Structure 1
């Protein structure tokens, strides 16, 4: 009966059951879809970029900009390349061809100015080889320790590591701060990277990248998985205070803006339980002070109170990222002294408080569940508009951006927003703007501050500071990003010629003297920069002396020192620009100020490269003497065009545009090689003209369209494969493939000429029917013909000249093989001499006329018989 009831109910409930299953799976799908969108631990994907395969040519670079918002949790970076290096091979690769990957906070890295040597890179690589952690802190295959990443933050810090085949890194908000980060991929570093080169024979490499940024859904959560709670410092307005208690020694007449807040709620946590707090500093401030007040102790869970025998409230403060016991900016014991941060940076500050040595006896029994409770009081000093310093007695000026006309992207100079200077000039005097030191405790010094903003996307520029005076300059300049500089906290500074940031990799000074200060901050970080001018001995400076200052942003330092051109490019995303110098043949470095080739050396190089083309006189003279006028024109034109091309290439003189001269040099060189082979044939002039026409068209197309780049691509792949096995620097076969292909075309022309001649001789033979049926006679005749062909070939050339020609050609090949960017002028000059000499020797090896006595009758006998018969018939 029950079975019948079930069977009876099934048809009627079928639709209801399916409907409920549909609703259940729909809810399940929606929940899972939302979870996938949000991610584990309340995280979600902020952005994700995939960069396609990109080729990095020798001495080239690529930048990738990564934007991390304030609520980011982690960034995952994956880079794949065809570079395969290990610790042993790095020492064998020259610095100028070493593939590197660099990372920098706020602006593009520039490894050309690094102080670290190749040996340091090898030691870093060796010390971390073999690790397999997933969350790493630097971009190297495997991983590095967290401590190695500690030095990366800051505008003057950068870390570079050898490029690897597979790179995977996950950087969290506990390791790096939000903002802009740059990845740089380089194919060789050093002064010669920016030098203009006549030839490049180094291997290229390619890479692809994927960068994904995860964020926290809640602003009060932090950590890689957003599972750590952050308590923001609250502010209660109903709190009275005495400014003299907060900032002792400050002049109350100058203090107007003081934010002082207190939390009425108590925070409680036990031994070794850290608690993290966050505070936003929105503008330029003078001092931040944090005090732990109303400290008490509670024994959980009985809530009994009493006096603790020992209690310490250790604090660790850090700007932009969560601090730890190993990674912090400030540390101390808040139970003994408050946390005081002078001139704090703008942005979010994190403070971790950790109770230690906490114990108590309750009822004579040791209680290990003791907790400490406290409230937080914090004060932030802000000076009035136009004032700065601890007592707000220093002058502070905001600099206005004035864009330059008809310049490269974002070049500008800055002027103070005040009526004390003229807006018509990029220079402004300092005396009307200097601070009065009457309020200062140090009567011989005073500070004047200038604030400027570097806009988004202009991180590839350089700040240029100049200061001139008729007498000795009595100012020291201190620069800091995101806060006011001081004698204790600065990013860059210049005091005099012996005390400055010249040791920093992104600071460079040019010919500074006692009367002139001139320096650049390279690839400056976008955001707010503050320059503090510390005036020394203000009371003894004559009033009639004037110090003039200029502040500007330039794309290239010192305009590339007048030895190069300033170029602007975009990063891989196309959203940010950067500038770089492309130097001439004799200079290098990031600003083209390093002389790589001396003036005398440049003269010798020019003479060698240009004068070596005089070797073209040898084949040209031979062709003219033997009335081979077509070959004479080609050899003469080839030598002249090569000389003009190299004269323009070395920067001596350009008769035509560089592209035209390069085309003429390549094309006529190709024609000279092929013409030499064709001349060695003995075909008639009609066939030679046809072959010359075809070859001229093919070589012209090769020279103008660079068709051999497909061959060079295969050569690149072959070079990379060999690199993986030998781990040594290989010579790129790009231009070698041109010569090989042209010689192959010439050899093909020679072979075609011989085939035409052989087919002509073969068709002249008459074969009778009896000859075809007589097999022994047929083979004897064929053998005789082949023997005659070999003898003709041996008599056609002077084989001593042939061997000498091949020897010269081998020397030319060796010279071509040994060419490099440094020794190009030596070996290429030898190449000119040997290749023209080989053509001359091959031309001399040809015998003009060959008489085959076996196949040809002697005309003299017939001629004598004819004369004898005629005489006999003429007798009466």
Structure 2
């Protein structure tokens, strides 16, 4: 059967077409954006009354972020809660999103709503009131977890959206005016064109606002009669989030004839990348590809004319001058670190201007009312700090307000924080005012801001009333003067509501923050909540303080046995514990709480190790030197008093000391006695009068009871369990001191009654042997002559 030439040609054409398709397909695939997925993860553990913080950055190519949480077995614990906030540490009263982690599942996830570029912070908060569970190393279980942050982005940054199918057009530079004489000129560049039709109804643009501006003007114009809408939002990553709301502003050109343009004016725009959406309703016209559709132009500019911007002018009261915000000079506050090389001062810094802002007596009317803008950059280093705001104002400024906003200039209607002079917690006179100021300078301070947002802060100081003019309105006489300062620190003086101590901690990513450790009976992030009923307060005070009387028996017994160093240290342990708990229950604090807390644990550690040295057989002379070293070591350990590491080190040190000491005694004693190890042990324990076993059995029982207190404390029974710990531990110390009978250990040979562990045993034994040899009677020696010996041999 023969094949026709036509069929052969068809087959050749098909092969050629497949080859062409194979060559074209890769290029098409390469031009189509691909979804990229990656993640960051971390793991750790949290207590029921604890909190942990994390942070992550949203990169420019990401359009979606999903956070997942895997947890270990809950056991009897209650599930924690995850909080999310943009730009700042979240707290129980201030967060953007919450993820409840309760239920039977071990895996949870949530999508970040209205995703924006920048830094996000997460907090994992235990179910119990913060810092309310009191214990040594137990009483609060740990939950192990694994947190993942999943990013979804496009390989081509010019696309975005759920499937990377939405092209994003770079709108170019934002137009800024230039002034020559009285005429304002606008550059011609920055004009963007676009088209929407029935098939493609949306076009996205991006514009970069890289500095502080009072206005952003978006002008949309078209010759089409179709309806067009413009929407704009700052730092949004998903085009699907461009919907009218708190983060998005919009304007519309209605369908029909007439004026076919609209201006969207944004007052004090946020710094960052603005996404602008132009969408239309076009149904009957030809497509844009055929020259139809709704053609439009879009221009972005900073007009810097606050008379055209809502809230761009300030007049706090009638009779006061109208102040144009666009004409004000913005003062920068410079960052000055105090001592970043000291860990406890790492978050301490001051932000202040080079010099105060002054309005002179000959100033024009629009400058006679203090309206002063400031800005400063707060890096992520200070995300866990506390910020204290201070304003210095001449006394003729009777009333003022200080407005604050993050990443955007504040106005009277748009701000994040507001401070009024009438709400200041402190108002004092400042002595070191400038010599040419005719008015006294007042200093205003407000409550500190915990966990401030990071980024560019903008402040606006506005006087609310007429300023009293000075008597001398010469050129050198100051009409008014204002100055603003900010201080950052981990722990302010008013931290923890004065019901706890503040200390600096670190997140898993190395950010430092101030955290409270609440006194007994209080809890919460600022120790503002009571966790124990007030009716038990007298019982708590009595038991926690007076249970330390149990230290007297061991103190007196040590003194009676002439163990004076031990007696002093035991007495100091009970005294410091009583003083510490008097401060802990807020009865009276004669010394700083943190110092008392460290000394209480240091002396408690020292008491345990002192007993270990005593029972190991050390003599009085050796114990003094050993005790000095141990006391210094326990002070170092007390910096992290409740850490399990300390107890492991104490247990390991005591075990090692006992092992080495007893092995030394038994090996040396058995060698000198010429008996086995078991016989030496029996002699050491029962036949050498080393121990009073009645004290040993009682002390062991008391110590086991004291150890059980470590793992049974909680917020409700802490005062009772801890008081039992005092009595059981101190009475067990009395028993362990009484357990050892002698100044040194002995090992008696049962047959002879000789102590083989006495210090001069070897030298005494040698002297006795030598004496026996010297007293032995001489033996009879027969002297035989050589001749007689030979004669005997011959016979």
Q: Shorter chain as normaliser: what TM range?
A: 0.5 to 0.7
Q: Secondary structure at the match of 2:389?
A: strand
Q: d(CA) in 2 for partners of 1:270 and 1:371? A: 10
Is 1:274 paired with 2:202?
yes
Q: d(CA) in 2 for partners of 1:829 and 1:675? A: 25
Q: d(CA) in 1 for partners of 2:397 and 2:170? A: 50
Q: Give the equivalent residue in structure 1 for 2:87.
A: 106
Match of 1:613 among 524, 540, 548: 548
Q: Give the equivalent residue in structure 1 for 2:351.
A: 413
Match of 2:388 among 464, 475, 485: 464
Q: d(CA) in 2 for partners of 1:580 and 1:375? A: 54
Q: Tell me the number of residue pairs that the alignment of Structure 1 and Structure 2 aligns.
A: 647
Q: Give the equivalent residue in structure 1 for 2:275.
A: 350
- Asked if the contact 1:815/1:827 (under 8 Å) is kept, the reply is yes
Is 1:638 paired with 2:577?
no
Q: Give the equivalent residue in structure 1 for 2:165.
A: 227
- Asked if the contact 1:809/1:835 (under 8 Å) is kept, the reply is yes
- Asked if the contact 1:289/1:380 (under 8 Å) is kept, the reply is yes
Q: d(CA) in 1 for partners of 2:735 and 2:501? A: 45
**Deviation per CA, 1:854-875, whole angstroms, max 9, x where unpaired?**
xxxxxxxxxxxxxxxxxxxxxx
Alignment of 1:18-417 (within 5 A): 41-42=33-34, 63-74=53-64, 83-84=71-72, 92=78, 98=80, 100-107=81-88, 109-111=89-91, 114=93, 124-125=100-101, 141-144=107-110, 149-150=112-113, 175-185=114-124, 192=131, 201-205=139-143, 216-223=154-161, 226-233=164-171, 256=184, 263=191, 265-270=193-198, 273-296=201-224, 312-321=227-236, 322-324=238-240, 327-328=243-244, 329-330=247-248, 332=250, 334-336=252-254, 338-356=263-281, 359-360=283-284, 372-383=293-304, 390=312, 393-394=324-325, 395-404=327-336, 406-408=338-340, 409=346, 411-415=349-353
- Asked if the contact 1:314/1:331 (under 8 Å) is kept, the reply is no
**Deviation per CA, 1:684-707, whole angstroms, max 9, x where unpaired?**
xxxx789x999x99999899599x
Deviation at 1:278, TM superposition (A): 2.3
- Asked if the contact 2:138/2:710 (under 8 Å) is kept, the reply is no
Alignment of 1:781-860 (within 5 A): 812=706, 815-820=709-714, 824-837=718-731
Q: d(CA) in 1 for partners of 2:382 and 2:361? A: 31
- Asked if the contact 1:289/1:339 (under 8 Å) is kept, the reply is yes
Question: Residues 283 and 272 of structure 1: is their aligned pair in 2 closer, same or farther, counting only changes over 3 Å?
Answer: same
- Provide the TM-score with structure 2 as the length reference: 0.59
Q: d(CA) in 2 for partners of 1:271 and 1:741? A: 79
Is 1:454 paired with 2:388?
no
- Asked if the contact 1:616/1:639 (under 8 Å) is kept, the reply is yes
- Asked if the contact 2:285/2:293 (under 8 Å) is kept, the reply is no
Alignment of 1:761-800 (within 5 A): none
Q: d(CA) in 1 for partners of 2:730 and 2:190? A: 89
Q: d(CA) in 1 for partners of 2:193 and 2:136? A: 73
Q: d(CA) in 2 for partners of 1:610 and 1:673? A: 26
Q: Secondary structure at the match of 2:353?
A: strand
Deviation at 1:601, TM superposition (A): 11
Question: Residues 623 and 813 of structure 1: is their aligned pair in 2 closer, same or farther, counting only changes over 3 Å?
Answer: same
- Asked if the contact 2:219/2:298 (under 8 Å) is kept, the reply is yes
Q: d(CA) in 2 for partners of 1:454 and 1:546? A: 28
Q: d(CA) in 2 for partners of 1:832 and 1:740? A: 23
Alignment of 1:865-876 (within 5 A): none
Question: Residues 393 and 605 of structure 1: is their aligned pair in 2 closer, same or farther, counting only changes over 3 Å?
Answer: same
Q: Give the equivalent residue in structure 2 for 1:442.
A: none
Match of 1:530 among 458, 461, 466: 458
Once structures 1 and 2 are overlaid, which stretch shifts more, 482-491 or 321-330?
Answer: 321-330
Question: Residues 745 and 347 of structure 1: is their aligned pair in 2 closer, same or farther, counting only changes over 3 Å?
Answer: closer
Question: Residues 697 and 641 of structure 1: is their aligned pair in 2 closer, same or farther, counting only changes over 3 Å?
Answer: same
Question: Residues 61 and 379 of structure 1: is their aligned pair in 2 closer, same or farther, counting only changes over 3 Å?
Answer: same
Question: Residues 573 and 637 of structure 1: is their aligned pair in 2 closer, same or farther, counting only changes over 3 Å?
Answer: closer
Deviation at 1:485, TM superposition (A): 1.7
Is 1:554 paired with 2:488?
yes
- Asked if the contact 1:469/1:548 (under 8 Å) is kept, the reply is yes
Q: Which structure 2 segments of 5+ residues have no match?
A: 1-18, 255-261, 314-322, 341-345, 429-441, 472-478, 584-588, 666-674, 676-686, 742-795
- Asked if the contact 1:670/1:699 (under 8 Å) is kept, the reply is no
Q: Secondary structure at the match of 1:334?
A: strand
Deviation at 1:808, TM superposition (A): 6.5
Q: Give the equivalent residue in structure 2 for 1:858.
A: none
Alignment of 1:546-585 (within 5 A): 546=480, 548-556=482-490, 558-559=492-493, 572-574=508-510, 577-580=511-514, 585=519
Deviation at 1:229, TM superposition (A): 0.5
- Asked if the contact 2:351/2:376 (under 8 Å) is kept, the reply is no
Question: Residues 57 and 279 of structure 1: is their aligned pair in 2 closer, same or farther, counting only changes over 3 Å?
Answer: same
Question: Residues 209 and 403 of structure 1: is their aligned pair in 2 closer, same or farther, counting only changes over 3 Å?
Answer: same
- Asked if the contact 1:465/1:549 (under 8 Å) is kept, the reply is no
Deviation at 1:556, TM superposition (A): 3.5
**Deviation per CA, 1:358-383, whole angstroms, max 9, x where unpaired?**
55599xxxxxx998513134352343
Q: d(CA) in 2 for partners of 1:76 and 1:433? A: 60
Once structures 1 and 2 are overlaid, which stretch shifts more, 594-603 or 280-289?
Answer: 594-603
Deviation at 1:640, TM superposition (A): 3.5
Q: d(CA) in 2 for partners of 1:565 and 1:623? A: 36
CA RMSD for the aligned pairs? Answer: 6.8
Question: Residues 64 and 315 of structure 1: is their aligned pair in 2 closer, same or farther, counting only changes over 3 Å?
Answer: same
Q: Which structure 1 segments of 5+ residues have no match?
A: 1-23, 131-139, 151-174, 244-250, 298-310, 363-368, 417-422, 440-444, 499-508, 679-687, 710-714, 717-731, 754-762, 764-791, 848-876
Match of 1:479 among 396, 404, 412: 404
Q: Secondary structure at the match of 1:352?
A: strand
Q: Give the equivalent residue in structure 2 for 1:665.
A: 604
Deviation at 1:494, TM superposition (A): 2.8
Q: Secondary structure at the match of 1:413?
A: strand
Q: Secondary structure at the match of 1:270?
A: coil
**Deviation per CA, 1:667-690, whole angstroms, max 9, x where unpaired?**
4335558979x9xxxxxxxxx789
- Asked if the contact 1:65/1:181 (under 8 Å) is kept, the reply is yes
